[in-house]
Chain A
Amino acid sequence: MTLDLLRFTTAGSVDDGKSTLIGRLLYDSKQVFEDQLEHVAAASVRRGGEGTLDLALLTDGLRAEREQGITIDVAYRYFATAKRRFIIADCPGHQQYTRNMVTGASTADLAVILLDARKGVLEQSKRHAFISALLGIPHVVVAVNKMDLVEYSQERFDELVVEFAGFAAKLGGRAKLVYLPISALEGDNVVELSPRMDWYDGPTLLEMLEQVEVAYDHPHDTPARFPVQWVIRPFTRSPSLASSATPPTSASLAPSSAPSAGPSFAADSAGEDYRGYAGQLASGALRTGQEVMVLPSGQRTRIAAIDTFDGPLEEAVAPMSLTLRLEDELDVSRGELICHPEQAPVVGRELQADVCWLNDRPLRPRGRYLMKHTSRHATAVVEELYDRVDVHTLERTDGPEELALNDIGRVRLRTSVPLAFDPYRGNRRTGSFILIDEATNETVGAGLVVSDS
C-alpha cells in the first residue's frame, strides 16, 4: 500500500535557491495560479525588481516578511501530480531556525536539504541535516543546487557528496540519503531529466518525491498504538451541551428528532450500552477479535468491533481515525493506550529525552512543565540536564546550566502520571511530546523520548 500523500520539508535562506526550487515545483506542476502570479509580478516591480519574477514573494505570507524580505514562519504549500498529493513545510533558515525546522520536520516523511554547488556544505545545511536526523525523518534528499554555475561538473558534485556523507556519518541518523544534482533556476533534474548532466542516471527530484515509501506503508511491521482520545457514549449527555440554554439574542433551531446515525451504526450496536473508544491509530494495524491490552492499567480484553461512520472494519491500519468497542466492560478513558499485549510499549514515570527548546525563557534543572504526550496530559519535572548541543557548531557541552531558545539537550524527566511510550526512533507518535509553560500556556519545548530512565 502506498499512501498517495507525502509530507516533506525544505529549509534554507533566501539566497540558496530554496524559494526558486519550490516555485519550480509549484509552477511546473501548475499549482501557481494566474492571480498569484499577477500579485508577484506587481510586487516584484514595486520592490524594484527589473521585470523579473521574484518567486520568493509567492511563499512569503506576512506583511512584515514582504517588507523586510525575510521569512518568519513555517509556511505550508500544496501541490499534486497524477501520482501523489504533496504538503511542503517550508521553513525559513535564519530566524528562529531550530524552532521552525523542528516544527516543519516533525510531520515530514522526507527532507530536501539544499547545497549550493559553489559553496559546499555550509553551516545551515549541516544544521538542517542534524535536525532531520534528530527528528527521525526517514528519507533525506541532498539536492546539490546551482549546478549551472559549476558547469554541470560531475567532479564537483562527487566532491560534495563525499564531503556531505562524511558529515552525515557523524550524525548517526538512520535516514536513507540520496544525492541529486539540480539547477532549480534552469529546471535541471527537478521535474525533467537534465540533458546537460548525462553522467547522472538517477531519478529527478519529482520522481523521488512521487515514489518514496512513507512510514504508513508497512502497518503490519509496526506495533499497534491506539491512544484513546474520546469516549463515545450516545446516551450520556455531555455537561457542555446540557448547560447551553437558548441564548436571548439568537434564533435557535432545535429539532426534536434524534440525531441521524450513520449507516454503520445499526440498531444492535447503537443500543443503550454503546460505549466506543475513539482515536486515531498512531501506528500499526488492529483486527476485530484480537486480544488487546489497555495501558497503563494493563487490563486485557478483545476487540469486539472496529466502527467507522462508513461501516465496521475487519482490520484498521494507521493513520485511520476509528472507534473501538471492547468485549469486556472496562473503564477506559482519554489518555490511555490500546495495544497488543505481546508488543507493549514502556510504561513509566521516568524517561530520558532530547528536548528542543522553543522559548525565550530557558529550561533549567528542577523546572516544572505541563506535558502533552499522545492524548495524555501530565506534569513533568526536569530531574537532570545532561548536555547541550550547540546547533551552530554541533558541539556538545556536558552539564550545562540551561537550555536557551534554539538549544537542544538531553534531559531526564519525571512525570506525575505513568505514560505509555516508545523510543522516538521506534515510533514518532508515541515517542514525542510537547512541554507547555504552566503560567503562559505557551508551547516551550519539543521532546523526543530516548529511553526509560
Chain B
Amino acid sequence: MSVDREVVRHVAALARLRLSADQETLFTRQLADIVGYAGVLERLPDTPVDPADGAAPLRTDAVVNGDRADALLAAAPDRDGDRLRVPAVLGDPG
C-alpha cells in the first residue's frame, strides 16, 4: 500500500483540503513515512475479533424544547432570516 501523489490528491479532495503543490509534495513524503511506519500492523495476525461490548443507553422519547435557536444560530456566517445561506447546492448529496 503506497502513498503517492495521486493518493494524496484523492484523499485531500475527500477531506475538502486544498493543497498547494509544495504541500502535496510534503504531505506525500510525510504521509508515506507515517503510513510506512503503520505497516508494522501488517505483522498482527488476523485472529477473529470479539464484537465490541457495551450497550447504548436508550432515551425516553420526549420533546426537550431548549428554545435556544437564536443563540445557536448566532454564530452562523451567513443567514437569510432563519435559514442558513450557502452558495448554490448543485446535484444531490452522495
The reply to whether chain A is a binding partner of chain B is no
